[in-house]
Amino acid sequence: MSSHQNEKQPFSKRLQAFLAKSRFATFSVLLHVVIVVMAGSVVLFRKYTEPPDFTAEGGEGLVSSETQAQPPPPTDQPQETFTPVAPTVQAPQLSAITANTASPTSFQMPTAVPQVKAPAAATMNSDLNKMLANAGTKGTGTVPSAMSGRVGGMARSAAMMRSGGKEGSERAVMAGLNWLKAHQNEDGSWSDQFKPAMTGLAVLCFLGHGETQTSADFGPTVKKALDWLIERGGEFDGRFSLTKDGWGGNDGVYQHAICAYALGEYYSMTQDDRVKDVLTKSVKYIVDGQKDDGSWAYRYAKGDKSDTSVTGWQVQALKAAHLTGLQIPGVDEALDKCMLYLKEAQCSDGGFGYHGKEEEHYGLGGVGTLCTYFWKQDKDKLVHEGIKYIIDKTKNGEPVEYKGPKADLYGWYYNTQACLMFGGNAWTQWNRWFQDEIANAQNKGDGSWPVMAAKGVGGLQDKPDGAGPYYRTTLCILMLEVYYRYMPINK
């Protein structure tokens, strides 16, 4: 056929002839077009349907470098208000505040972490300036770097973003603080049972959120509480068991250490000279009460059995005293000596016993691990084995379940801090277990935490009245404040 005849044919005929001659090339082009379209569809589908992955890898630090979130953009966050409902508070005879044998329950938590809105930078600076401008205080006005995450809403929000905190957790903290504010005694204390301990724990909750006596919402609450601690401690020469001599029952050493812990934190945040004398005296009792093996016992009796639970609160009080910069005699030496006891108290599986290696309990795994890290602040063999014990035991039979038969607030309080300090996959796992479980268990009507189902585990978690509501609420607040209370910063 001539080219002239070819040009007179319709276009469709000519196209068919061309495709027939080059069918292989045409097929290749069509195939590549289909592949490109399909690949693009998959990418777009994943982008709009899959949540972000915040799992940390490697175990070196709080989260991996690939997943560390930057501080959120400054925005204003209005203050929420809550209407507390007062529970009936009576004072039955309860056992001493001790660690228990209970345990924590598996549940699934979504991996996506909602953003926490941060207030404007000016808010943070204003909060810091107010904190350091307390009337009658002296000092450098420097908050220890380990406590810097609690200073101002912006710092708290940034810390929560870095470590997987959620808005629901912060709402639960605020509701809990408002419940404590509404249930403070007229004299500034809390509870009628174990009053020094409950007052000390409440003060720690407010301080953990960066609230001091100059805070807009909680300033009067904190001031009344500090006035009570200073007056009562001074009346009994720095002895917060509130006895003129001796330490009362087994609870005396717990109560004393918790109050000293609160005063130490308060001084570090304000440099308020009013607390120096009573704080120094209270810490001296702890230093002098240490046993030769580095532990502490009930009534600070050096001839009694060493007690890991008692020891845990003394270590926390001494670490707070160390951070004050007051250089109270014997503090560092006592902490060094205690590390020897904890090394001897660790069992072959990484857990810890009540009395050295005797009577190992799940609730003490976090005590020994946190106290070691609190002072040594490195991931040595003891800390690694302690963290492994916490994760393995929780995963296999000791789940974090607030209403479960093995619930253990005391153990969870220590485990939460220990895992965050260690970081990495251990923290990612623990955060998935505990955060939603604790926040969702809160009484939504008033901000306190309800009676737990676990029975016979010691402590106050199953007590509907007396110190029970205060004990549960303060421990839960402190757990949910973990994201910013203490930063995992090496010495």
Asked if the structure places residue 309 within a domain, the reply is yes
| Measured distance CA(239)–CA(260) in Å, rounded | 9
One domain for residues 27 and 122: no
**Is residue 490 assigned to a domain?**
no
Same domain assignment for residues 395 and 329: yes
* Gap between the Cα atoms of 219 and 270, Å rounded: 13
Q: Is residue 57 in a domain?
A: no
**Residues written for the chain:** 491
Do 430 and 458 lie in a common domain?
yes
Looking at the fold, whether 36 and 152 belong to one and the same domain comes out as: no
pLDDT of the residue at 174 = 98
Q: Which structural domain, as residue segments, surrounds residue 110?
A: 63-485
Nearest one of 415, 295, 433, 307 to 367, comparing CA atoms: 415
Residue 355 lies in a domain: yes
Are residues 437 and 476 in contact, defined by beta-carbon separation less than 8 angstroms?
Answer: no
Q: What is the pLDDT of residue 15?
A: 60
C-alpha to C-alpha distances, 188 to 184, 197, 229, 253, 304, nearest whole angstrom: 6, 13, 9, 21, 35
Q: 42 with 177, same domain?
A: no
| CA–CA distance, 330 with 66 (Å, rounded to integer) | 42
Residue 334: other Cβ atoms inside 10 A: 24
Question: Looking at residue 107, which CATH number applies to its domain?
Answer: 1.50.10.20
Same domain, 173 and 42: no
User: What's the per-residue H, E or C state across the chain?
Assistant: CCHHHHHHCCHHHHHHHHHHHCHHHHHHHHHHHHHHHHHHHHHHHHHHHCCCCCCCCCCCECCCCCCCCCCCCECCCCCCCCCCCCCCCCCCCCCCCCCCCCCCCCCCCCCCCCCCCECCHHHHHHHHHHHCCCCCCCCCCCCCHHHHHHCCHHHHHHHHHHHCCCHHHHHHHHHHHHHHHHCCCCCCCCCCCCHHHHHHHHHHHHHHCCCCCCCCCCHHHHHHHHHHHHHHHHHCCCCCCCCCCCCCCCCHHHHHHHHHHHHHHHHHHHCCHHHHHHHHHHHHHHHHCCCCCCCCCHHHCCCCCCCHHHHHHHHHHHHHHHHCCCCCCCHHHHHHHHHHHHHHHECCCCCEEEECCEEEEHHHHHHHHHHHHHHHCCCCHHHHHHHHHHHHHHHCCCCCCCCCCCCCHHHHHHHHHHHHHHEHHHHHHHHHHHHHHHHHHCCCCCCCCCCCCCCCCCCCCCCCCCCHHHHHHHHHHHHHCHHHHCCCCCC
Whether 39 and 70 map to the same domain: the answer is: no
- CA distances to 169, 365, 379, 401 from 408, in Å: 19, 12, 25, 9
Contact call for residues 328 and 321 (beta carbons, < 8 A): yes
Q: What is the CA radius of gyration of the chain?
A: 29
**Angle formed at CA 189 by CA 210 and CA 239, multiple of 5 degrees:** 95
| pLDDT for position 294 | 98
> Is residue 227 situated within a structural domain?
yes
Number of separate domains in the chain: 2
Report the sign of the C-alpha dihedral through residues 303, 305, 309, 315, in that order.
Answer: positive
Structure tokens at 112: 């996506």
Residue 58 within a domain:
no
Q: At which residue do the structure tokens 């009930």 appear?
A: 298
CA-CA-CA-CA dihedral for 225, 228, 234, 240, to nearest 10: -70
Contact 157, 116 (CB under 8 A): yes
Whether 256 contacts 102, CB under 8 Å: no
Q: Which two tokens stand for residue 272?
A: 């308020």
- Residue 86 and residue 30 share a domain: no
30 and 104 in a single domain? The answer is no
Query: Smallest Cα–Cα separation from 388: which of 407, 406, 402, 368?
Result: 368
| One domain for residues 183 and 107 | yes
Shared domain for 106 and 217, answered yes or no, is yes
The HSE-up count of residue 334 (CA atoms within 13 Å, CB side) is 26
- Whether residue 39 is found in the same domain as residue 172: no
CA distances (Å), origin 173, targets 36, 65, 88, 158, 168: 50, 28, 22, 16, 9
Residue 54: inside a domain, yes or no?
no
Query: For position 184, what pLDDT does the model report?
Result: 98
Residue 246 pLDDT: 86
Tens digit of pLDDT at every position of the chain (491 positions): 444 445 556 666 666 666 566 565 566 656 666 566 565 554 454 444 444 333 333 333 322 333 333 344 443 444 443 333 333 333 333 333 433 333 333 323 333 333 334 344 344 344 434 443 433 333 345 799 999 999 999 999 999 999 999 999 999 999 999 999 999 999 999 999 999 999 999 999 999 999 999 999 999 999 999 999 999 999 999 999 998 888 988 999 999 999 999 999 999 999 999 999 999 999 999 999 999 999 999 999 999 999 999 999 999 999 999 999 999 999 999 999 999 999 999 999 999 999 999 999 999 999 999 999 999 888 899 999 999 999 999 999 999 999 999 999 999 999 999 999 999 999 999 999 999 999 999 999 999 999 998 876 667 888 999 999 999 999 999 999 999 999 986 44
